[in-house]
């Protein structure tokens, strides 16, 4: 029975850590840029976009260049924070599995 009680306590601790991490990353503001700063995207720590800023001269560029630059900035702003978030969540859940 002691093992089950310990496991339950660890699970509760893990849940609290996950909730704290979610709150933290949702409040983070990370800035990503592409095209020499022509495209700036602000995302939270989960990779959700907060804002987008485009240089006026950038919009005068070739359509294909604008599209590829925007896409690159969006992918980076989405993928990097999400990977960090998932890694942090995995570390929290891994601490429960490794704590037997």
| pLDDT tens digit sequence for 64-85 | 999 999 999 999 998 888 888 8
pLDDT of residue 96 exceeding 80, the answer is no
Residues contacting residue 58 through CB under 8 Å, at least 6 positions apart:
35, 38, 39, 66, 69
In angstroms, the Cα distances linking 39 to 6, 24, 55 are: 50, 26, 7
Which pLDDT value is given to residue 1?
Answer: 58
User: Confidence class of residue 100 from pLDDT cuts 50, 70 and 90?
Assistant: very low
Domain enclosing residue 86, as ranges: 2-97
Reported as a single tens digit per residue, the pLDDT across 27-65 is 889 999 988 899 999 998 888 899 999 999 999 999 999
* Domain at 72, CATH number: 3.30.1310.10
Beta pairing partners, 89: none
Which is higher by pLDDT, 68 or 98? 68
Q: How many domains does the chain have?
A: 1
pLDDT of residue 99 exceeding 80, the answer is no
């Amino acid at each position: 029975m002691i093992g089950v009680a310990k496991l339950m306590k660890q699970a509760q601790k893990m849940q609290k850590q996950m909730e704290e991490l979610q709150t933290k990353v949702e409040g983070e503001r990370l800035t990503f840029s592409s095209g020499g700063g022509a495209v700036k995207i602000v995302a939270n720590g989960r990779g959700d976009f907060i804002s987008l800023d485009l240089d006026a001269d950038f919009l005068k560029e070739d359509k294909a260049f604008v599209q590829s630059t925007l896409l690159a900035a969006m992918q980076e702003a989405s993928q990097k924070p999400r990977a960090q978030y998932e890694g942090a969540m995995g570390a929290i859940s891994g601490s429960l599995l490794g704590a037997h």
